[in-house]
């Protein structure tokens, strides 16, 4: 069972500046009892991966509303995996066409949360995924 506080890093890769979503999600996850590091905007995939490793987070949330999600999310995941074997959950949000979701999931995004998603849905998903993961770890 996950007993310590869930640590989440939220960031926006690329040049997109729309941050209302990420800021609201960050605050909402904090209210749900998680420790949230909001890294900010205009970050490279490498910067996000580096910070996530340093902060030893359990979850990495990425947001992109400018349409660059396929390249930017997968690069972030690859950059992270090159340097860390920790099993983290990647989630994504923004403006993501439904037809891109399979490719995102194949690259390592566990779930996407688009416009209209209630915050508790994201919080529940994270908790459930981490429970699943820790169950897997118990032999």
Partner 1 sequence: MTEMEERKKEFRTTVDGIAVNRAYTPDDISENEIDASLPGEYPFTRNIMSTGYRTRLWTMRQYAGFATVEETNRRYKYLYQQGQTGFSVAFHLPTQMGYDSDHPLALPEVGRVGVAIDSLPDMEDLWAGIPLGEVSTSMTINATAPIILAMYIAAAEKQGAAQSQLMGTVQNDLLKEYVARNTYIFAPEPSMRLTTDICCYCAQNMPKWNSISISGYHMREAGATAIQEAAFTLANGIAYVQAMIDRGMEVDSFAPRFSFFFAAFNNLFEEVAKFRALRRVWAKIMKERFGAKNERSMMLKFHVQTGGCTLAEQQPLNNVVRVAIQALAAVLGSCQSLHTNSYDEALALPSEEAVQLALRTQQILAYESGVADTVDPMGGSYYLERLTNQIEAGIEKYIATIDKIGGALEAIKRGYIQREIRRSAYNHQRAVDAGEQVVVGVNKYTSDEPLDLELLEIDGSVTRKQIARLSKLKSGRDNERVHQILDKVRQVARSKENTMPVLIEAVKAYATVGEISDALRDVFGEYKEPSVL
Q: Contact positions toward partner 1, by CB under 8 A?
A: 14-20, 23-24, 26-28, 38, 40-42, 44, 66-68, 71-72, 95, 97-98, 114-116, 118-120
Closest separation between CB of residue 27 and partner 1, Å? 5
Closest CB to partner 1 among residues 16, 58: 16
Residue carrying the six token digits 């090159």: 82
Closest separation between CB of residue 103 and partner 1, Å? 13
Beta strands at 59-64 and 35-43: parallel, antiparallel or unpaired: unpaired
Closest separation between CB of residue 4 and partner 1, Å? 22
Closest CB to partner 1 among residues 116, 139: 116
Closest CB to partner 1 among residues 35, 133: 35
Residue carrying the six token digits 């995924």: 129
Give every CB contact of residue 90 below 8 A, 6+ residues apart in sequence.
59, 60, 61, 62, 73, 76, 77, 108, 109, 110
Number of C-beta neighbours around residue 27 at 10 A: 13
Q: Count helices and strands (H / E) in the chain.
A: 5, 5
Closest CB to partner 1 among residues 120, 134: 120
């Amino acid at each position: 069972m996950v007993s310590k506080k869930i640590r989440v890093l939220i960031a926006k890769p690329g040049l997109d500046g729309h941050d209302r979503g990420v800021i609201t999600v960050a605050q909402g996850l904090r209210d749900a009892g998680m420790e949230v590091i909001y890294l900010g905007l205009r970050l490279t995939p490498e910067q996000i991966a580096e910070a996530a490793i340093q902060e030893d987070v359990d979850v990495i949330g990425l947001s992109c509303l400018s349409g660059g999600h396929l390249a930017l999310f997968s690069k972030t995941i690859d950059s992270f995996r090159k340097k860390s074997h920790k099993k983290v959950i990647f989630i994504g949000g923004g403006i993501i066409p439904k037809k891109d979701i399979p490719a995102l999931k194949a690259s390592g995004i566990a779930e996407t949360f688009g416009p209209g998603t209630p915050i508790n849905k994201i919080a529940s998903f994270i908790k459930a995924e981490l429970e699943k993961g820790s169950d897997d770890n118990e032999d």
